[in-house]
Structure 1
Amino acid sequence: MGFERSLDSGARPLRVCIWGTYEIDHPRTRNILRGLALNGVDIHHCHRAVWGSSIREDKTKGWLGRLVLGVIRLVAAYAVLIPAYVRSPEHDVLLVAYFGHIDVFVARWLAWLRGRPLVFDAFFSLFDTVVQDRQLVSRRSLIGRLARLMDRWACRMADLVLLDTLAHVRYFEDEIGVPSGKALRVWVGAEEEFRPLPAATRHEFVVLHFGKYIPLHGMGVIVGAASLLADDPLIRFVLVGRGQDFPRTRALVERLELRNVTFIDWLEPKDLRAAIADAHVSLGVFGSTPKAARVIPNKVYIALAMGQAVITGDSPAARELLRDREHALLIPRGDSAALAEAIRELRADEPLRLRIALNGGRLFHDRCTAEIIGRELSARLVDLAISARGRDRECGSKVK
């Protein structure tokens, strides 16, 4: 492996200890760890579950009580994790994965103890998510102020910060004060089970959205498009999942008396794969919040991986990866009429839809697979480890 260079005279693989209370089933964490493993990185887990499942839970429901209970669990978890890390095998890099905004403060001390560089997968801003996107608290509230401070100090603890888009990197540099060059973009990607299946053969034209109904998804925009297309009996919207905006979304559908919208609860991955294959178009995000302009959600990567045509909101983040009308249809965010028109176009122009689907699949396999994500990340981790070792030798020579 190329990244084995110069780690030591034995040219051994890079060794990474992933430490903390990270959400082990989160797509972000799964893709990073699989990508590193595919590139020959030795990974040692030092983990205690605290935050519960990331896939099905609506974490805005009872979020304050969840936070208090989480802090209590954290204390108990650290009582186990700290001595476990002290006893952990030799490694080159300490990684704090998502969700690690609290873990990173403890990990900084542990990394110093072992003389290892610390990498923090911030993934997103707490302040941006809690205050600006989900609007759970005001920016002047105690929790709002604390979230901003945690963003800033958590990133200061790390030697390298991982984020999902360059748009997020710029936000962290401009708003949080992360120095230029300290943050690295790592695509979210899609889990390995999402592979192409035979294309839809249904007579209806199925438009699919799946997710946790968070504000940046723009569920009102999707329902608005469904309303504009209600006179076409062959177009059907299938909305999979539950979450913060689900009650509001369902109430809007009922108030508009829409019969072209079907709600489905959470699906297991194999059933979600079947639902995607059964659809003609997959939808991304259409919210008008600032965060919606800085993300490419997991759902878009999944659709690309499965060779599905995608419609999503136009944004700086989306254009880092996607070209309009080549890999996806990019439309103005917050615009139901534009979404309805894009759906009409893909229904009427099957060659365009199939070409976008094919190009999107190729793009994913060229740039976004776990192996490619892991290759780019492992190269940066090797550089970080070598740099840390060089500093250690320099300090040792000065002491002598």
Structure 2
Amino acid sequence: MTAEAREAGAPEDPAADGLRPLDIALLTYKGNPFCGGQGVYVRHLSRELARLGHRVEVIGAQPYPVLDEGYDGLSLTELPSLDLYRQPDPFRTPGRGEYRDWIDALEVATMWTGGFPEPLTFSLRARRHLRARRGAFDVVHDNQTLGYGLLGDVGAPLVTTIHHPITVDRQLELDAADSRQRRWSVRRWYAFTRMQKRVARRLPSVLTVSGTSRQEIVDHLGVRQDRIHVVHIGADTDLFSPDPSVPVVPGRIVTTSSADVPLKGLVYLVEALAKVRAEHPGAHLVVVGKRPAEGPVAQAMERYGLEGAVDFVKGISDAELVDLVRSAQVACVPSLYEGFSLPAAEAMATGTPLLATTGGAIPEVAGRDGETCLAVPPGDSGALAAGLGRLLGDPDLRARLGAAGRERVLRHFTWARAAEGTVARYREAIERAGGGRDTADHRTTRPASGGPATARGAASPAPGGPATTGAASVAPGGPAAATDGAAQGSVPAAAGAPAGAGPSARVGSAGAGSPLSASSAGAGSPAPTAATGPVSPAPADVTGVNSESRATC
């Protein structure tokens, strides 16, 4: 149905569940689907929600999400930040003309002092935007921003996804820090987790991706169990599927990992490769991720003479990624911890046999050892080497595990199932809030249906105010104006921040200005190393979906 027909009051076709279609605001403060799990989640969930008959407006900051084409009611609104971590000038200092309001000043000040500002500053811009469009949405779905700006009234019932607590990544980074300076730097970078903990405790409805993550949200963030609901995410089983025409390369092992993130456990897989090559000299590893210039992985490759046996690829397309996984004799997930593990589900969906650790929620995805995968303890290079040796030497075992793995994914872990479960939680949240929005129809603020669209100029102007190009304009009277009551200083200071202080029509390609990639959704990437100005790479996407990053930027 077109926007014009809805405005005229024409009856709507029901959604797939037989009820009225919902208008959904899906928030993502980083949305690159090639460099961080947050973008992968938003891309696939938004598509499946649209397939179910709902209208989804993704509201995101740089790097902007990429949405799939051809779905009615699926659109993007760009809500720009200052994009401080973009390439080729990460940790840049914006020009004077780039500052629009006090939120921009807060963003820069937090970066200058070694913190990560984006969860807080995006939440403040999102609140202003949503309040200016009150009545446009039935539900607001936040993808782990967990910023102060999303507390209180955002114009519709709020549902929040927490993939896993970023405090887990923080602790792993601290454990791997080798100096007092490094530990200080990690603590400062992850200071935003104190804000996320305070916000999480006040959320009415939390979705998470696994039972393991559910318990950790209780333990680490103090959220009540009755407010947390598990909705498994999944693989794109149409894309990630077996294809016998793709030749399997003897000895090939594939993993998706970021070399500089301790959580990913890549160093243990490199050590395992060195051991298994004594028995299988043709064994070699292809890492979907950035080649490390230094650090434990680079040192291990040099120590064991593996320079010609380990390749790194990045910037590949989805189709290229699928064919790479299909071509492997073994897919491996060596992580010390995962909140879900999309790489495991995707590898299994292609029919490639999986060797995975038991870190975090990986067993919930991969299944039982010997039935749908081979499972080994995390952080054990000897166990990884034994598992690799078994799989490389036993074609019947590979065939059996590959077939059983795909069947498991088809039964339990698809994006269609994820969307259905998410809609059920939306409707529960709407019912708790009193049954829905006002009868006055504000949908004229949405793009007409007929495919992805972009609403540039993130925030709608306040009544009587000027139109804006960007997050918001500074109203007369000072930087605190035009913020819907969020006057400077009225929002709790970001953890560690100074006190007082949508894809567009470019569907199919990443938003311009991708930040440094190293990794996984950011958690676990190197933190800044100085209080007066960060000098080392920042997380590509600090979201808590870090376990699911493709690391292909």
For this structure pair, what is the TM-score category when the shorter chain's length is used for normalisation? 0.7 to 0.9
Q: CA deviation at 1:260?
A: 6.0
Q: Is the counterpart of residue 27 in structure 1 residue 40 in structure 2? A: yes
Hey, what's the Cα distance between the residues in 2 that align with 1:138 and 1:182? 33
Q: 1:248 aligns with which of 268, 280, 296?
A: 296
Q: CA deviation at 1:38?
A: 2.8
Q: Please show how residues 346-365 of structure 1 align to structure 2 within 5 Å.
A: 346-365=391-410
| Residues 32 and 374, structure 1, Cα contact 8 Å, conserved in 2 | yes
What is the one-letter code of the residue matched to 2:31? E
Q: Please show how residues 1-400 of structure 1 align to structure 2 within 5 Å.
A: 4=17, 11-19=19-27, 21-23=29-31, 25=33, 26-49=39-62, 50=81, 65=111, 71=117, 78=124, 82-83=128-129, 85-87=131-133, 90-98=136-144, 100-102=145-147, 105-111=148-154, 114=155, 116-133=156-173, 138=183, 143=188, 146-191=191-236, 193-198=239-244, 201-202=247-248, 204-213=250-259, 214-231=261-278, 232-242=280-290, 247-258=295-306, 261-266=309-314, 267-287=316-336, 292=337, 294-315=338-359, 317-321=361-365, 322-389=367-434
Q: Bigger shift: 198-207 or 47-56?
A: 47-56
Deviations 1:73-125, CA, capped at 9 Å, x for gaps: 97599558724652265322111124x133xx2223342xx3x3211222222
Hey, what's the Cα distance between the residues in 2 that align with 1:74 and 1:175? 20
SS in 1 for 2:356: strand
Hey, what's the Cα distance between the residues in 1 that align with 2:328 and 2:113? 38
| Residues 327 and 357, structure 1, Cα contact 8 Å, conserved in 2 | yes
Q: CA deviation at 1:326?
A: 1.4
In structure 1, stretches of 5+ residues that fail to align are: 6-10, 394-400
The structure-2 alpha-carbon separation of the partners of 1:131 and 1:79, relative to structure 1 and needing over 3 Å to count, comes to: same
SS in 2 for 1:242: coil
SS in 2 for 1:193: coil
Hey, what's the Cα distance between the residues in 2 that align with 1:54 and 1:164? 28
SS in 2 for 1:123: coil
What is the one-letter code of the residue matched to 1:329? L
The structure-2 alpha-carbon separation of the partners of 1:56 and 1:257, relative to structure 1 and needing over 3 Å to count, comes to: farther
The structure-2 alpha-carbon separation of the partners of 1:375 and 1:55, relative to structure 1 and needing over 3 Å to count, comes to: farther
| Residues 257 and 266, structure 2, Cα contact 8 Å, conserved in 1 | no
SS in 2 for 1:44: strand
| Residues 328 and 356, structure 1, Cα contact 8 Å, conserved in 2 | yes
Hey, what's the Cα distance between the residues in 1 that align with 2:20 and 2:197? 35
| Residues 48 and 77, structure 1, Cα contact 8 Å, conserved in 2 | no
Q: CA deviation at 1:312?
A: 0.3
What is the one-letter code of the residue matched to 2:354? V
Hey, what's the Cα distance between the residues in 2 that align with 1:372 and 1:65? 39
The structure-2 alpha-carbon separation of the partners of 1:203 and 1:254, relative to structure 1 and needing over 3 Å to count, comes to: same
SS in 2 for 1:389: coil
SS in 2 for 1:109: coil
The number of aligned residues is 374
| Residues 28 and 143, structure 2, Cα contact 8 Å, conserved in 1 | yes
Q: Bigger shift: 85-94 or 250-259?
A: 85-94
Higher relative contact order (CA 8 A, sep 6+): 2
The structure-2 alpha-carbon separation of the partners of 1:384 and 1:211, relative to structure 1 and needing over 3 Å to count, comes to: same
The structure-2 alpha-carbon separation of the partners of 1:301 and 1:202, relative to structure 1 and needing over 3 Å to count, comes to: closer
TM-score by length of 2: 0.60
SS in 2 for 1:181: helix
SS in 1 for 2:334: coil
What is the one-letter code of the residue matched to 1:353? R
Q: CA deviation at 1:70?
A: 6.6
Hey, what's the Cα distance between the residues in 2 that align with 1:246 and 1:141? 19
The structure-2 alpha-carbon separation of the partners of 1:54 and 1:243, relative to structure 1 and needing over 3 Å to count, comes to: farther
The structure-2 alpha-carbon separation of the partners of 1:69 and 1:315, relative to structure 1 and needing over 3 Å to count, comes to: closer
What is the one-letter code of the residue matched to 1:236? H
SS in 2 for 1:36: helix
The structure-2 alpha-carbon separation of the partners of 1:92 and 1:68, relative to structure 1 and needing over 3 Å to count, comes to: farther
Deviations 1:127-160, CA, capped at 9 Å, x for gaps: 2223334657648986378444223212134221
Q: Bigger shift: 228-237 or 363-372?
A: 228-237
| Residues 232 and 418, structure 2, Cα contact 8 Å, conserved in 1 | yes
SS in 2 for 1:120: strand
| Residues 313 and 330, structure 1, Cα contact 8 Å, conserved in 2 | yes
For 1:398, the equivalent position in structure 2 comes to none
Q: CA deviation at 1:204?
A: 2.3
| Residues 4 and 14, structure 1, Cα contact 8 Å, conserved in 2 | no
What is the one-letter code of the residue matched to 1:149? R
Q: CA deviation at 1:22?
A: 4.0
Deviations 1:279-327, CA, capped at 9 Å, x for gaps: 111001343xxxx1x5332211110221211100024622323121111
Hey, what's the Cα distance between the residues in 1 that align with 2:58 and 2:437? 25
| Residues 237 and 260, structure 1, Cα contact 8 Å, conserved in 2 | no
Hey, what's the Cα distance between the residues in 1 that align with 2:390 and 2:191? 46
Deviations 1:214-261, CA, capped at 9 Å, x for gaps: 212211211111111222222222223127797431221112112662
Q: Bigger shift: 81-90 or 318-327?
A: 81-90
SS in 2 for 1:220: helix
Q: CA deviation at 1:52?
A: 6.3
What is the one-letter code of the residue matched to 1:190? A
| Residues 309 and 354, structure 1, Cα contact 8 Å, conserved in 2 | yes
The structure-2 alpha-carbon separation of the partners of 1:70 and 1:96, relative to structure 1 and needing over 3 Å to count, comes to: same
Hey, what's the Cα distance between the residues in 2 that align with 1:198 and 1:93? 43
| Residues 23 and 53, structure 1, Cα contact 8 Å, conserved in 2 | no
Deviations 1:156-204, CA, capped at 9 Å, x for gaps: 3422122222111111112221001212223342346333332663562
Deviations 1:12-40, CA, capped at 9 Å, x for gaps: 11221123534253212223223322322
Hey, what's the Cα distance between the residues in 2 that align with 1:378 and 1:359? 29
What is the one-letter code of the residue matched to 2:401? I
State percent identity of aligned pairs.
Answer: 19
| Residues 117 and 192, structure 2, Cα contact 8 Å, conserved in 1 | no
Q: CA deviation at 1:53?
A: 12
